[in-house]
């Protein structure tokens, strides 16, 4: 696996996590806006926007971590699959 491919996999996983987290935040902020009003320290911020922001940040972190885990898992599987060097 090249470094470019590893970077691409982790970046794409983080971006997909951001999109899914943002959509989850949009749904959560639309269904329960009163919940996010208690969490927000500033009163001039819209609860749905804050929920989208929190969902996107969590999605980036979790998506990037999942991408890193996938790269590590694939590296270990390829490392184990290599034939032993005979002398």
DSSP codes joined into one string, 1-26: --HHHHHHHHHHHHHHHHHHHHHHHH
CA dihedral sign, ordered 52, 54, 59, 60: positive
Distance from C-alpha of 45 to C-alpha of 11, rounded to nearest angstrom: 29
pLDDT at 86 over 90: no
Task: Please tell me the distance from the alpha carbon of residue 11 to that of residue 67, in angstroms, as a whole number.
Answer: 8
pLDDT given at position 87: 63
Distance, in Å, from the CA atom of 58 to the CA atom of 54, rounded to the nearest integer, reads 6
Instruction: State residue 18's pLDDT score.
Output: 94
pLDDT at 79 over 70: yes
For the stretch 14-70, pLDDT in tens is: 999 999 999 999 998 888 878 777 777 777 778 888 889 989 999 999 999 999 999
Domain boundaries along the sequence of the chain: 3-81
């Amino acid at each position: 696996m090249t470094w470019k491919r590893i970077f691409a996999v982790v970046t794409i996983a983080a971006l997909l996590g951001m999109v899914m987290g943002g959509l989850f935040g949009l749904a959560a902020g639309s269904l329960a806006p009163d919940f996010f009003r208690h969490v927000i320290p500033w009163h001039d911020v819209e609860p749905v926007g804050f929920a989208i922001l929190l969902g996107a940040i969590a999605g980036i972190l979790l998506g990037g971590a999942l991408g890193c885990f996938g790269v590590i898992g694939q590296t270990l599987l390829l490392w184990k699959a290599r034939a032993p060097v005979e002398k």
